[in-house]
Structure 1
């Protein structure tokens, strides 16, 4: 119930106003958005789908830079923040590392995951005070990927807590994906064939529409 109320409050608060970089685009000011995270970002079809939607709504004004890296976690995120994010001088950045912070072989406590996330936030704010920071919780893993991430929910909650405490926009995909999982693993696997990486259809059906909605952008037309 607490999680539901938090998600509802966050959604209502941000639904009332678009992301700052979207407002700037509406004023015809060029904007750069950096996406920074794991393979769910590096190879995620949602990044290109988001660029396509932005190009449709704001031709030649929006640049999306994919700075994700497969198999990486927030330790890597902190170490590579300068080159992968700050050097791009973005107007907005999306951060997602919870899926791999939860990976057992990396042996990262949730406290360190939180510390790394807050370090990235602090450094971005110090270097680029006007940069809008957006946190994102991705889809839940299943099968062997869940076995390797048995406490994934705890790491996802870190992002929710930090978003609330730092007054950051949160895009939380977990509830929508849980609704798909309730229909059974076969339905989930149609959109996430390997149990962890959504395919283009999964991104177009779940991830990208939620990003567009939560950022205050129009739905993709025609649908992705």
Structure 2
């Protein structure tokens, strides 16, 4: 009976050790964390959810995409989100803010927008030095929404230049959108500014996966 109890005790200790080891292994492999920082093009864009799913399938590892975004926001709002984003300890930060900065009813000059972006990028790099930071140009803007943003390209160029001057990334999705027929583009972006979430995910997620990992998908998986 003593021997039997000893065997049970040894078995219990062995299983406990295995369980502890499993928990340790899980802790050693946290999800790849991405923070998407932006406007309504992010907060209700649909693409962050698709990116999480597509990138996880590519890497065969967990991916968590967190959004810090507000509809109607500008770089003025983003300046106040630096600590919040850095506090997430992200591996990657994806950012877009030019669209509302460029709206004529916001009265924000290109130079002010540029200065804001420079401060945001520097703040993010200081607060999250481990993070890969990527600035994005989203979809085309047309119709009344485009008319309200007559100098949109100048804002995009300013944001791109600030990112590239710091060795940070820049992704432009507009060529992929512009490859659609006029009818398809109008159907995909019915109000001229906000894409249907499912279409944004279909177009943007594969481009982001290719940009972020190149040919780094695990065996058996192909980059979109």
Q: Same fold (TM over 0.5)?
A: yes
TM-score calculated relative to the size of structure 1: 0.78
Secondary structure at the residue paired with 2:95?
A: strand
Secondary structure at the residue paired with 1:67?
A: strand
In the alignment, what sits opposite 1:153?
A: 153
Larger Rg: 2
Secondary structure at the residue paired with 2:100?
A: helix
1:100, distance to aligned residue in structure 2 (A)? 1.0
Give the 5 Å matches for 1:4-153.
30-59=31-60, 61-83=62-84, 85-153=85-153
In the alignment, what sits opposite 1:9?
A: none
- For residues 151 and 145 of structure 1, what CA distance do their matches in structure 2 show? 12
* 2:187 is the counterpart of 1:187: no
**Unaligned 5+ runs, structure 2:** 1-27
In the alignment, what sits opposite 2:24?
A: none
The range that moved more, 66-75 or 27-36, is 27-36
Aligned residues: 192
**Unaligned 5+ runs, structure 1:** 1-26
1:65, distance to aligned residue in structure 2 (A)? 0.4
1:167, distance to aligned residue in structure 2 (A)? 1.2
Distance 1:106 1:53, change over 3 A: same
- For residues 177 and 61 of structure 2, what CA distance do their matches in structure 1 show? 32
RMSD of aligned alpha carbons:
2.3
